[in-house]
Amino acid sequence: MKANLIERKVAVRNARVPQRFGHVAEGMWQGYHAAIADEEPEALVARLNAIESELFGFALEGVGMGLAELDALKPKKQNRVQAFLEGARTAYQTMVYLGVGLMLVRRELPIKPYLTQLNPIRSWPIIDGYGFNHGIYRWREYIDGQAIPEQLVGYACRVFDQGLGRSIWLVDGTDVTRISVTVGAFSSIRQADIWGGVGYACSSICGAERGTIEALGTAAGSYLSELAKGAACAAKFRKLLGNPAGYTEFVHEVLCEMAGDTETNVRDIPNNEAEPNQQVWQHYREVLLT
């Protein structure tokens, strides 16, 4: 992550920003190495329980990345990702599938086979993770160049943009001016989803103080509601995973207050009352959760 900031010539004014990003990455890699070390579900759960609670969601992404990598490189009769997720809460499934999307970019594997094997609702987290890692590792082409993978069509492109938006919070080092310029360079039809991703990452990862969060809300302009909804989704996910964090609630509250929109409030987002359709992944990801 530090290398990305240097390559993009981002002047990080707060030393705690790269430290925070490094801490989050550590949680993800702990999950990855736990999966690589012992793929058996019970042993893997024991290793996960030893990881710092605040990093649990990121660790689950790492688990998804590790198990999916083993499935791709050392296939066997039983899919390791599915074996781990049998009986798991849907909140866990979503984070693990995000990690599967991360792996596809890391190993330069095509996404299409993974999309055809899954219920479309389960494929969305994979696409989101896929978009995120394209922004992290291939930002010249997909952030600066604004490309979209050829394999994705229709609503999948929007989910990709939501993941791409999450990466922008990191690769632009929480610099609000840079983030605003970066997102503003995209076509208007893509900006809402990208701002939603920025809001999710800001809330889930944070690494910023109140002034930065307020400035981000101002910079989002007409997309403030999307930014706040992304933050609300992150807060709800943390709650359902059982690892709430004060900074996530704080970012959510600040942006919701700025938006002045009750739809951005976590309490107003449905849990599992109806079958979600393709328009709800960003705004109401929680309908996937039990």
As a whole number, mean pLDDT of residues 164-181 equals: 95
Which pLDDT band, with edges at 50, 70 and 90, does 266 fall under? Answer: very low
pTM here is 0.89
What percent of the residues of the chain are helix, what percent strand, and what percent coil, each to the nearest 5?
Answer: 70, 0, 30
Give per-residue pLDDT as tens, 114-144.
887 667 667 889 999 999 999 999 999 999 9
Work out the average pLDDT over 180-203.
96
Question: Can you tell me the mean pLDDT for 174-185?
Answer: 96
Query: Structure tokens of 111?
Result: 């996404």
**Residue 123 region, left (φ>0) first, then alpha (ψ -120 to 50), else beta?**
alpha
* Res. 180: pLDDT tops 70: yes
DSSP string, 225-261: HHHHHHHHHHHHHHHHHT---HHHHHHHHHHHHHHT-
Q: pLDDT higher for 114 or 270?
A: 114
Write out the two tokens for 3: 């290398």
Instruction: Using the predicted structure, report yes or no on whether residue 282 has a pLDDT greater than 60.
Output: no
> Measured between alpha carbons, how far is 122 from 281 in angstroms, rounded to an integer?
11
pLDDT per position as a tens digit, 218-262 = 999 999 999 999 998 898 888 888 888 889 999 999 999 999 864
CB 39 within 8 A of CB 67: yes
pLDDT surpassing 80 at residue 166: yes
Lowest mean pLDDT among 3-12, 47-56, 143-152, 233-242: 3-12
